[in-house]
Amino acid sequence: MTRIEKVKKLLRKNFDALLISSIPNIIYLTGFAGFSTLEREAYLLIAKKRNYIFTDGRYFEVAKKNKAFRLIGISLNNSFGQALKEIITKEKIKKLAIDEDNIKVTELIRIKRVAKVCSDENLVEGLRKTKDETEIENVKKACKLGDLTFKYILSEIRIGTTEKILAHKIEVFILKHGERISFRPIVAFGENSSSPHHVSTERKLKKNEIVLLDFGVKINNYCSDMTRTVFAGHVDDKQKKIYKTVLEAQTKAIESLKSLIKNHQSVTGFELDKIARMYVESKGYSSIPHSLGHGIGLEVHEKPSLSPKSKDVLINGMIFSIEPGIYIPGFGGVRIEDLVLLTAKGPQIITRANREIIEL
Amino acid sequence: MTRIEKVKKLLRKNFDALLISSIPNIIYLTGFAGFSTLEREAYLLIAKKRNYIFTDGRYFEVAKKNKAFRLIGISLNNSFGQALKEIITKEKIKKLAIDEDNIKVTELIRIKRVAKVCSDENLVEGLRKTKDETEIENVKKACKLGDLTFKYILSEIRIGTTEKILAHKIEVFILKHGERISFRPIVAFGENSSSPHHVSTERKLKKNEIVLLDFGVKINNYCSDMTRTVFAGHVDDKQKKIYKTVLEAQTKAIESLKSLIKNHQSVTGFELDKIARMYVESKGYSSIPHSLGHGIGLEVHEKPSLSPKSKDVLINGMIFSIEPGIYIPGFGGVRIEDLVLLTAKGPQIITRANREIIEL
């Protein structure tokens, strides 16, 4: 069954048609990744029979090439609202599902003028939770280049270099391999590493300091994501204790996942998060100030979620990060992040870089 | 007056407080550019007296450094809705303005539970329309590197190269200069250039073909944007006629702007668009399938708009593109795009690359 057929099958149950606005969902269903992620340049409409793509003159040529969608041209003389109204009438759509997490208030006002709307219940995001073979291959390729990038960047870490220089080198390395970053690399030295999403600065690296590296690669629109924390010299006892706790929290989560899957028990994102979180707390550290992990694919962060509020059941075909962290303001932080693919045989760690303490 | 003071002054008139969610607006008011553009990681609230930033544990350290905003920590135990409600009560906010072009339906539902909302009337976007000195300097710097990139890429155009290779070379060149692209470069050969927003492919360049190059640089968060169309060999009569028409349309728009400003007449985006558009049509070509131009700054596309529906009056301090184009399906297209800064002395073209026909 094609992805579009899967959508059609699901939409029959609850609504007559689905309006798709999010860029990852558009890429998922059309394969075309050329629309801006910052501006609204296209919508898809999946009705019971036909499928439509609404876009403007800049994209007519490319849209025409995709035979699965009928092109509806948007222009000054044919606004999206007008065009949508026509299709709503033609297709006899009573209830139009929209993505409430993506549609903006101004857009809702326009859509409501021409259609009765309801929530799409994250239908496409639901399908995207589990990956098919091609998707898995792409994420694995991205992880592989990520591992290579880590190996390369280790050789570039030296006293006196800056966070910005390293972040830049990561990006250039990935680009030189013909691929792109999946997000701006996070490079944090010393006490800066206590900020989980630190923005790289001109700060210079000093001896024995923590170096936190969080980066990802995007290949064929699919993302990787990994974090390693290494030491620019000797690791001291305080640093070592933090590191070992984080690594153990990650290992515990992965091992629990293994044994639960082996015993055919279902496991939720909430449960896995709790295992790592409680371990960190049990060692006297503050709780992890973020989720234990997140799904990854066309987006760096997508479903399933591994967090204290997650209800996602972890099943075969899912790829997600497991990334505990401990952060001590004024001192620094450690995070170790790997991607895990869940298979019938159990979890497979698809980021391969060394997880043991590295002293440079 | 600081930017925040300007916002406060304007909000007094119509509402008690302003909720800011768009990333460019957050960068504009905080100077911090580390939040994801794809996910909601922070909000600002500008009330009559105090200013607040709502964000989660990943950003506490950086948020604390900005003394203009009080940090309100969002966590599992303190949702954005709860936190907002508390501030709404504390600050006695009766009417909260939101950015309806940015706030999503799900968010609106949450916000409406705790506050009475109204539209922010694009207050911050209005301020961003005209640029201060630092902003102008940044855009000019970005344009300068753009010109350098154009000069470099000309030397890399050879028969047999692909669109993807050139697009990649543009990106690596900019990155090597320590800066970033403002959007993915558009490189289109031959008939592909008839698609105004073509996505680069493996297509190889053949002799005498059109090469359309549209790219931009981002420096200190400010964007440049330029398009040049060159010829891989000899330009033929049909190509030449199209090129000359596009160049003349652009020249006419710029000259009209000059003379109107000189005569202290006001001019709107609509009027300027019409001048170029009518010229293109008068030569027997289809109308330009996009706007004549757009403002640029923290975003590649922002206010003012130069389009058939624009009501924006063009005033000093604005920076916008002027980019007519002619596109013939199956044959190819030509677009010439430059950035113009409007000063008291008239329009200043801040992209400097050669606009005459280039035969390589």
What pLDDT is recorded for position A163?
97
Residue of A nearest to B300 (CA): A38
pLDDT band for position A165 (cuts 50, 70, 90)? very high
Q: Provide the chain A residues 160-179 that lie in CB contact (below 8 A) with chain B.
A: 168, 171-172, 175-176, 178
Which CATH homologous superfamily contains domain A133-349?
Answer: Creatinase/methionine aminopeptidase superfamily (3.90.230.10)
Q: Do B103 and A101 touch (CB under 8 A)?
A: no
Q: List chain B residues with CB under 8 Å of A300.
A: 38
Q: Do A36 and B183 touch (CB under 8 A)?
A: yes
Q: Do A104 and B109 touch (CB under 8 A)?
A: no
Q: Provide the chain B residues 309-338 that lie in CB contact (below 8 A) with chain A.
A: 309, 329
Q: Do A58 and B197 touch (CB under 8 A)?
A: yes
Written as one letter, the residue type at B147 is: D
Residue of B19, B38, B225 to mutate, testing the A interface (most A Cβ within 10 Å of its Cβ) = B38
Nearest to B103 among A38, A39, A104 (CB): A104
Please, what is the average pLDDT of chain B?
96
Structural domain spans, chain B: 3-128, 133-349
Is residue B240 scored above 90 in pLDDT? Answer: yes
* Helix segments in B91-219, DSSP class H: 105-114, 123-128, 133-154, 163-176
What pLDDT is recorded for position B61?
85
pLDDT band for position A231 (cuts 50, 70, 90)? very high
More confident residue, A297 or B261: A297
- How far away is chain B from the Cα of A18, in angstroms, using its nearest Cα? 16
Residue of B nearest to A107 (CA): B101
Of the listed ranges A112-121, B5-14, B45-54, the one predicted with least confidence: B5-14
Is residue A61 scored above 90 in pLDDT? Answer: no
Q: Do A37 and B32 touch (CB under 8 A)?
A: no
What pLDDT is recorded for position A210?
98
Q: Do B105 and A105 touch (CB under 8 A)?
A: yes
CATH 3.40.50.720 fits domain B3-128: no
Integer CA distances (angstroms), B93 to A24, A195, B113, in order? 37, 32, 14
Written as one letter, the residue type at B217 is: V
Nearest to B105 among A103, A171, A199 (CB): A103
Alpha-carbon A180 to chain mean position? 15
pLDDT single digits (tens) A70-82: 999 998 889 999 9
CA atoms within 13 A on the CB side of B146: 32
Q: How far is it, in rounded angstroms, from Cα B203 to Cα B206?
A: 9
Is residue B27 scored above 80 in pLDDT? Answer: yes
ipTM confidence:
0.89
Cis peptide before A24 (omega within 30 of 0): no
Q: List chain B residues with CB under 8 Å of A193.
A: none
